[in-house]
Structure 1
Amino acid sequence: MVEGAAKSPRKEAIRLSKLLEISLGADRFPVDVASLAREISRNYGDPIDKIVGDELPGFEGMLRPHKKRPAWHIVYSTNPQYRGRERFTIAHEFGHYMLHRPELSAADYRDGLLTKECGFECLPLQSNEWKQAEREREEEADTFASYLLMPIDDYRVQVGRNEMSRELLAHITRRYGVSLLAAVRKWIEFTDTRAAMVVAYDGYARWGRASDTALKTGIFIPSGMPIPEASVAGMGPSALKDQDRAVQLPAGIWTFRRGSEPVRELTIFSERLGLSVTLLMFDRAPFGVSLAEEHIPDTYDQFVQSGQV
């Protein structure tokens, strides 16, 4: 973290979002995060003086110090097909700058060269190899990026009380300039309904995330879980090619630790990525059914800085 200060990723992102709201109003979306990072960092003695896209084999992005003066560079992996991912990566690295970097000064440059290692290199799908401190740091940077690009108060206004649909998700991704996965994960984080998301590849769940209310009633997506053949996700892209709204499925198709129940399923297939993204929406749990006292892990934590989020 920044020396002498422990910052909350949510509070810091909300603070910057409020500044944007004051200066730009309703026209602040999608957030020009590169311009914001440069402008905000000018208030510090070690600003961000370069943000550049480049080919980074094995990396999503990095925040690295200048070798000869107190300053920082953000470098992100370029992919013209996934501009939303690029925006999120820049915001993630900006989060490292605001939350985790050691503030640099001239004293750190002996004979004109940096004397300590202090950069952040973010790799996809590596969190299972990270130490706990690294895992927490990456999750904090992701949280910062999510709240900066998609402020929760504005997101709630956009969604309202509507059930998620393909059209509504398209609106969200356009408004905030983020990927589909980032938009869905944001909804799962704050919705008070029982819902879960499943990201699947080749017939198996790659990772999943459930809302708090769903977790408390035993809805949990284990990594590697087979996708039910009778589900929309299991039937493949040709099943409901033009599906806009969730399809009602009976009990006996999607099964979890408390058994099976009817569910509304909305699945979007990405042929470019070879993935399916599924939203499962459940009715209210029967009265008294709760696992609130149990600690249920989140499989998303195994893929904190996934290359597809």
Structure 2
Amino acid sequence: MTDRARKTPRRAANDLTVLLRTVLGEDRFPVDVEALALEVSRNHEDPITAVKGVEIDGFEGMLRARRKKPGWQILYNTQPRYRGRERFTLAHEFGHYLLHRRPLTAEHYRDGELSDDYDFECLPLQSNDWKDAEREREEEADTFASFLLMPIDDYRNQIGGQEMTRDLLGHVTDRYGVSLLAATRKWIEFTDARAAMVVARDGFALWGRASTTAYKSGVFIRSGMPIPDGSVMAMGPTSQQAGGQRPTSLPDGIWAFSRGSEPVRELAFFSDRLGISVSLLQFDGRGGGADIEEEEPWDSYDQFIAGVRE
């Protein structure tokens, strides 16, 4: 398949969303990626014939070609066991199948076994070793997974222009069966609100992402920036009232960005298992100053996965 004929990740995911809506209606979440991949691939000469969980340290997922006859297997890591991450990995590998695989036919097995390397192995945060084409494929598979699991039109309907709270974010993660990180990042990518997310470890930002409107008003999260004293994230898990669902209002002078500091509402989450903390920052108004026009990257997530190993 030529690049011109190949579907974009978003189009491929949207086509499947239409299919699922037609067959299952609105009660189709969370998406059963395994069943979908097995059923859709049956229409090809080289279908996906198995989806298997494995427990291998340092392994994320793989789309593996069968060695004896045309077909594929999806393998995914079940250690640590976290269903939201597993579902995203399955969707990611299914994206490789639809977007990137070289279709296999009986001709590839004329010597009795597949000899060439057709596999896609996805290692966590190793993209500083990838070539540009490999990095692009990984980003496309992530985009496909995001749009398949969390269609924007449905996500918008769930949010309805509300302030993001702990309850609302919990509703979203439950509906789509995804991790908090995936659900938060998805909201940041499409919201019209001025908002940003910060992922940190040991008091420093690993990566961050700002909504388009937030970035244009000067909000940019740099990898390695120190988490400010006085922030909810810096004060730790006991900083918010027990059972508190709404963000904590903070005055200006705490979170500061390129255009200075302003009041912010901060909602923080803490994961001992992953050793990270996540803050969702929500701002009021447009912020001071004119919009940024220069071609600067608007988040540090891509910089993080491109240049940092975990």
TM range (shorter): over 0.9
Deviation at 1:115, TM superposition (A): 2.6
Q: Report the Cα offset of residue 6 of structure 1.
A: 2.1
Structure 2 matches for 1:235-246, cutoff 5 A? 235-240=235-240, 241-246=242-247
1:128 shift after superposition? 2.4
Partner of 2:92: 92
Is contact 1:127–1:302 with CA below 8 Å preserved after alignment?
no
Give the whole-Å Cα distance in 2 for the aligned partners of 1:238 and 1:287: 32
Residue 289 (structure 1) aligns with? 290
CA distance in 2, matches of 1:298, 1:127: 17
Give, in angstroms, the shift of residue 58 of structure 1. Answer: 1.4
Per-residue CA distance 1:255-297 (angstroms, 9 max, x = gap): 1112111111111111222211110111222476210333225
Q: TM-score, normalised by structure 2?
A: 0.94
TM-score by length of 1: 0.94
Q: Secondary structure at the match of 1:197?
A: strand
Query: Per-residue deviation at 1:81?
Result: 3.9
2:252 counterpart residue number: 251
Q: Deviations over 1:110-155 (max 9, x none)?
A: 3111131111111111122222211111111011001101111110
The 5 Å alignment of 1:261-272 reads 261-272=262-273
Q: Identity over the aligned pairs, expressed in percent?
A: 64
Contact persistence 1:10–1:147 (CA under 8 A): yes
Distance 2:15 2:304 in 1: 27
- What are the residue-to-residue correspondences of 1:196-207 with 2, within 5 Å? 196-207=196-207
SS of 1:199's equivalent? strand
- Using a 3 Å threshold, how does the CA distance of structure 1 residues 223 and 49 change in structure 2: closer, same or farther? same
Determine the structure 1 residue equivalent to 2:164.
164
Tell me, yes or no, if the aligned pair for 1:62 and 1:122 is still in contact at 8 Å.
Answer: yes
- Range 14-23 or range 263-272, more displaced: 263-272
Q: CA deviation at 1:164?
A: 0.4
Q: Which secondary structure does the structure 2 equivalent of 1:97 belong to?
A: helix
2:276 matched residue in structure 1: 275
Task: Please name the residue that 2:9 is paired with.
Answer: 9
Q: 1:3 to 1:215 in 2, by over 3 A?
A: closer
Alignment of 1:1-309 (within 5 A): 5-79=5-79, 81-240=81-240, 241-286=242-287, 289-303=290-304
Structure 2, unpaired ranges of 5+? none
Range that drifts further, 277-286 or 159-168? 277-286
Structure 2 distance, partners of 1:228, 1:37, is 44
Moved more, 79-88 or 2-11: 2-11
**Deviating more after overlay: 161-170 vs 271-280:** 271-280
3-state secondary structure, aligned to 2:87? helix
Partners in 2 of 1:204 and 1:166 — Cα distance?
A: 23
Which AA in structure 2 matches 1:147? F
The number of residue pairs the alignment matches comes to 305
Query: In structure 2, do the counterparts of structure 1 residues 180 and 2 end up closer, same or farther at CA, with 3 Å as the change threshold?
Result: farther
Contact between 1:2 and 1:98, CA under 8 Å: does it hold in 2? no
**In 1, Cα distance between the equivalents of 2:50 and 2:77?**
14
What SS does structure 1 have at the residue aligned with 2:27?
A: helix
Q: 2:298 & 2:105 partners in 1: Cα distance? A: 41
1:5 match: secondary structure? coil
Q: Distance in 2 between matches of 1:5 and 1:97?
A: 15
Moved over 3 A (4+): 1-5, 302-305
Instruction: Name whichever of 285-294 and 5-14 sits farther off.
Output: 285-294
